Amino acid sequence: MLEVLPRLPDDPILGLAAACRADPNPNKVDLTVGIYMDEQGLCPVFEAVQQAQRQLIEQESSKAYIPPAGDAAFNTGIQQLVLGADSSALLAGRVSSVQTPGGCGALRIGAEIIQAARPNARVWVSDPTWPVHIPLLGSVGLRFESYRYYDAPSHGVDFEGMVADLKSAQRGDVVLLHGCCHNPCGADLELEQWAQIAEMAEQQGFLPFIDIAYQGLGDGLERDAAGLRLLVERLPELIVAASCSKNLGLYRERTGATLFIGQNSASAEALQSQALVAARRVYSMPPAHGALIAGRVLGDQALRQSWQNELESMCRRINTLRSDLRSKLEAAVDQDFSFIEREKGMFSFLGLSAEQAQRLRREHSVYMLDSSRINVAGINAANIDIVARSVAQVLGR
């Protein structure tokens, strides 16, 4: 039976990362996978995470399942981190959550709830969006519409186009929004634009579903969540998929959560019950290790302060890399790259053609996607000049 299955192509991002690893060029540069790298090209472990992990190992006395909803300290911590400790929705008991296997698991559980509430619901996704959004949400049978988002000539948000397209979103539809640090383009909504989306949701009745995977890596923990929190304050219902991969560095621990904001506490409780049943049929029980660490970090004042200090340093470094890359590119190429500084988070489209991106890989061992999306956090002092010179050469300068 199984012999009839053909070999499928590699994932376009992971496949390029593998090609880069196999490249013998000692000066190769990997700007593909969205992982934060430090100046040494390593994905660091937060000191607070290391301390929490040591405590956990010393104190852990069982490997029994944790509760189906996940670690209680983690759920409390992630709710307060995303929504703010003074959130009126939290204070009113309108919030519930379930711990999930990473942000991907959070998105899938959100999709399961949407499908249960409205089979074959339409989900509006930005053009472009993270490539895994559609297979994750579509695997439960949801249908998709797209709304304009990125304007390539200006390297910014086409908000007029976005609004025009979302005017067709109806009651029962879902609008998927990136909470901050848009993946793949790095162009984010302004707070006034979030307010306009909230007004449209109020009037048209669509449900916002917010994916927030990079909180703290754009303008800081509070500002990165400001748009999401505005929607929570104004709307009766919301779903949020949160990830601890980037801002706590727990990539391989697969730590995330789906948050539900209901009309009241009874609704929040019902949504959690639905999520637990969905989780049981998808992955049964949540993984423990990463959430137990994250719960400790978020719930301990000293560990949390240490983590926040290190996260703020990472955020500053990303923004400095953006400024430095802009300067290097403009020195090498007579072209405006100021958009790189305006963008937020780890990603940016450089505006190259697919052919130019392929030449960068083939001729210079600089690896980026055909869309010219780069992971800014893959740049460091040792490779930034290589990147700038290589881009200049493929642009014919």
User: Which superfamily does 2-45+304-394 belong to?
Assistant: Aspartate Aminotransferase, domain 1 (3.90.1150.10)
CATH 3.90.1150.10 boundaries in the chain: 2-45+304-394
Tell whether the model's pLDDT for residue 165 goes beyond 80. Answer: yes
Q: Per the structure block, which two tokens stand in for 21?
A: 């690893």
Tell whether the model's pLDDT for residue 397 goes beyond 70. Answer: no
Burial class of 397 by CB neighbour count within 10 A (0 to 12, 13 to 18, 19+): exposed
CATH 3.40.640.10 boundaries in the chain: 65-299
CB of 359 within 8 A of CB of 333?
no
CB of 54 within 8 A of CB of 43?
no
Catalytic (active site) residue 291: no
Q: What is the mean pLDDT of the chain?
A: 96
Tell whether the model's pLDDT for residue 196 goes beyond 80. Answer: yes
Catalytic (active site) residue 246: yes
What pLDDT, on a 0 to 100 scale, did the predictor assign at position 164?
Answer: 98
Tell me which amino acid residue 361 is. R
CB of 365 within 8 A of CB of 28?
yes
Determine the average pLDDT of the residues in 78-100: 97
Q: How confident is the model at residue 199 (pLDDT cuts 50, 70, 90)?
A: very high
- Of these residues, 124, 130, 194, 307, which one is catalytic? 130
Residue with the bigger pLDDT between 9 and 124: it is 124
Q: Per the structure block, which two tokens stand in for 180?
A: 């901050």
CA distance linking residue 385 with residue 87, whole number of Å: 45
CA distance linking residue 376 with residue 340, whole number of Å: 9
Q: How confident is the model at residue 366 (pLDDT cuts 50, 70, 90)?
A: very high
- Of these residues, 246, 275, 278, 388, which one is catalytic? 246
Question: What proportion of the chain, given as a percentage, has pLDDT over 90?
Answer: 96
Tokens 């852990």, residue located: 60
Determine the average pLDDT of the residues in 42-58: 97
Catalytic (active site) residue 213: yes
Residues 6+ apart with CB under 8 A from 292: 56, 60, 66, 71, 73, 74
Q: Per the structure block, which two tokens stand in for 204?
A: 């048209």
Q: How confident is the model at residue 61 (pLDDT cuts 50, 70, 90)?
A: very high
At 302-313, the pLDDT tens digits run 999 999 999 999
What pLDDT, on a 0 to 100 scale, did the predictor assign at position 254?
Answer: 97
Catalytic (active site) residue 194: no
What pLDDT, on a 0 to 100 scale, did the predictor assign at position 136?
Answer: 93
What pLDDT, on a 0 to 100 scale, did the predictor assign at position 326?
Answer: 97
At 253-290, the pLDDT tens digits run 999 999 999 999 999 999 999 999 999 999 999 999 99
Determine the average pLDDT of the residues in 110-115: 97
3-class DSSP assignment, residue 210: strand
Tell whether the model's pLDDT for residue 245 goes beyond 70. Answer: yes
Burial class of 204 by CB neighbour count within 10 A (0 to 12, 13 to 18, 19+): middle
CB of 181 within 8 A of CB of 345?
yes
Q: How confident is the model at residue 118 (pLDDT cuts 50, 70, 90)?
A: very high
CB of 363 within 8 A of CB of 19?
no
Q: What's the CATH fold of domain 65-299?
A: Aspartate Aminotransferase; domain 2 (3.40.640)
What pLDDT, on a 0 to 100 scale, did the predictor assign at position 236?
Answer: 97
Determine the average pLDDT of the residues in 133-149: 95
- Of these residues, 121, 198, 201, 213, which one is catalytic? 213
Torsion of CA 50, 55, 58, 63, to 10 degrees: -90
- Of these residues, 30, 158, 173, 211, which one is catalytic? 211
Determine the average pLDDT of the residues in 202-226: 97
At 10-47, the pLDDT tens digits run 888 888 999 999 999 999 999 998 999 999 999 999 99
